[in-house]
Structure 1
Amino acid sequence: MHAWMASIFGDDTAKNQGRVTLNPLKHLDFVGTLLIFIAGIGWAKPVPINSTYFSTRRIQSIIVSLVGPLSNFVLAFVGFSVWYFTPVSISVEEFLNIFVSLNVVLGVFNLLPLPPLDGYRIVSSLFSAKIQMKLRPLEMYGSILFLIVILTPIGDFTIIPFIRTSIDVVMNSFYLFYEWILPI
């Protein structure tokens, strides 16, 4: 979604690098993939974006960063809607539960304002170019800090409660939406 939106705004960097594809091999990051097997958490290569192609760099950078988490919430809502309106078997219901939960977690998680996540890109885009330049050298430490928080008990008191609460808020919003448009 990031590459698609960036392309709409005039940046074909990802397309030119062959990254606009559903082929998962094009998106694998060696360390991120390795950590999936070691620690149960990993990541893909970041989508290459060159905001110098954007006509309104700050606003379009924020939009490009938002479409990733937004697409997760849309997918979660679609999965929830299928579950809500369609009688499904237990195995399909279990799949939809995992599908919805995973997309909500990814959407919320990616909105955290830590580098290299989308939330950081959104927040940093709000700063002046001068401040952004000062933040850039610190970004490489963001991944290390992020891993420390996630892989140690620190996450149990910081990020994990936030994500759990956010999942509840999003899921309750889905229920409330349908109760609002389809009152019984």
Structure 2
Amino acid sequence: MASVFGDDTAKREGRVTLNPLKHLDIAGTLLIFIAGFGWAKPVPVNAAYFATRRVQSIIVSLVGPLSNFVLAFIGFTIYYFSPMNMTMDEFWNVFVMLNVVLGVFNLLPLPPLDGYRIVSSLFPVKIQEKLRPLEAYGSIVFLIVVLTPIGDSTIMPFIGSSIDVVMSLFYSIYE
């Protein structure tokens, strides 16, 4: 989406590829094996190329989680209408839940997630500038919240409730 709005940063940096090695983050990859949770390199975006920086930044940030919800809905549709098959049912169930969780998770307003980019884009420029130096600490706070029991009483109830809402919405469409 950033490319559509005039930002070719990802292309110039060789990140528009299906080669998974170009997207690996060393720390994020190691944590997958250590903690069962990790991440890839974020896609580089330079909003200076956008004609309407605030609106287009929000749209770019929404596209990732929205694509997860679209994929989840497509998977749910296949799951809902396909004949019963234990192996495929399990595959589609995991596919749907993974995409719903990723979509909800990425909407959390914590740096470096898309939800933070959306919320921070709504602030006046002066506040955005004051928040920018704090973003480096956001990743540390984010990891503490996610990898410790703090997350059990903060973000996990939100994620669980959000998953229930999305899945109820999917079921209500077909019932």
* TM value normalised by structure 2: 0.98
Equivalent residue number for residue 172 of structure 1: 168
Cα displacement string for residues 89-137 of structure 1 (whole angstroms, at most 9, x for unaligned residues): 1101000000000000000000000000000000000011111110011
Look up the SS of the partner of 1:115 in the other structure: coil
* Map of 1:182 onto structure 2: none
Q: More displaced, 17-26 or 91-100?
A: 17-26
Shift of 1:88: 4.0
Q: Could you tell me how far 1:18 is from its partner in structure 2?
A: 1.0
Structure-2 residue corresponding to 1:137: 133
Q: Check if 1:83 corresponds to 2:71.
A: no
Answer yes or no: is 1:106 the counterpart of 2:107: no
State how 1:51-130 maps to structure 2 within 5 Å: 51-130=47-126
Distance 2:18 2:104 in 1: 23
Instruction: Count the aligned residue pairs.
Output: 175
Rounded Cα–Cα distance in structure 2 between residues aligned with 1:13 and 1:150:
30
1:54 offset after TM fit, Å? 0.5
Offset of residue 142 of structure 1: 0.6
Q: Distance in 1 between matches of 2:19 and 2:166?
A: 30
Which AA in structure 1 matches 2:131?
L
Aligned equivalents of 1:46 and 1:57: distance in 2? Answer: 19
Amino acid at match of 2:26: F
Shift of 1:23: 1.2
In structure 2, C-alpha distance between the alignment counterparts of 1:85 and 1:170, rounded to whole Å:
18
Q: Structure 1: any 5+ residue segments left out of the alignment?
A: 180-184
TM-score when scaled to structure 1?
0.93
Give the whole-Å Cα distance in 1 for the aligned partners of 2:170 and 2:106. Answer: 20
Amino acid at match of 1:22: L
Segments of structure 2 that go 5 or more residues without pairing to the other structure are: none
Query: Which of 4, 11, 18 is equivalent to 1:15?
Result: 11
- Three-state SS of the structure 2 residue aligned to 1:67 is helix
Q: Percent identity?
A: 78
Task: Tell me the CA shift for residue 85 of structure 1.
Answer: 1.1
Task: Say yes or no: does 1:159 pair with 2:149.
Answer: no
